[in-house]
């Protein structure tokens, strides 16, 4: 039986997908190197979400800071996914 993913894990997965779309759109460009690094960082968020705490990875900062504000500002399509992950993270923390 497949493991059920928590809403936090689902949000982290959606963020990874959004970042992968940005990375794919940049394929072959020098900017794709930075996007690939951000994609790897987002996988760290997913691993943290599996244990229920992205704060264990981002500390007292934000997801945007963890991924790199400059990269996030250059890729606004990922912002709704970052906001959703942060919103769920705060709900989990406060529960």
Contact 38/71 with Cβ under 8 angstroms?
Answer: yes
Where do the domains of the chain lie? 7-94
User: Quick one: 37 exposed, middle or buried, by C-beta within 10 A (0-12, 13-18, 19+)?
Assistant: middle
Q: What is the pLDDT of residues 48-58, one digit of tens each?
A: 999 888 998 99
Residue 27 pLDDT: 86
Residue 52 pLDDT: 85
Q: For a pLDDT cut of 70, what percent of the chain falls above it?
A: 93
pTM comes to 0.89
Mean pLDDT on 16-28: 94
């Amino acid at each position: 039986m497949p493991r059920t993913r928590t809403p936090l894990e689902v949000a982290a997965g959606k963020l990874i997908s959004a970042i992968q779309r940005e990375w794919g759109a940049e394929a072959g460009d020098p900017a794709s190197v930075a996007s690939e690094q951000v994609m790897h960082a987002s996988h760290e968020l997913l691993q943290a979400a599996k244990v229920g705490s992205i704060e264990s990875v981002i500390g007292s900062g934000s997801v945007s800071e963890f991924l790199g504000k400059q990269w996030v500002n250059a890729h606004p399509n990922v912002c709704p996914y970052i906001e959703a992950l942060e919103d769920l993270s705060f709900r989990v923390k406060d529960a």
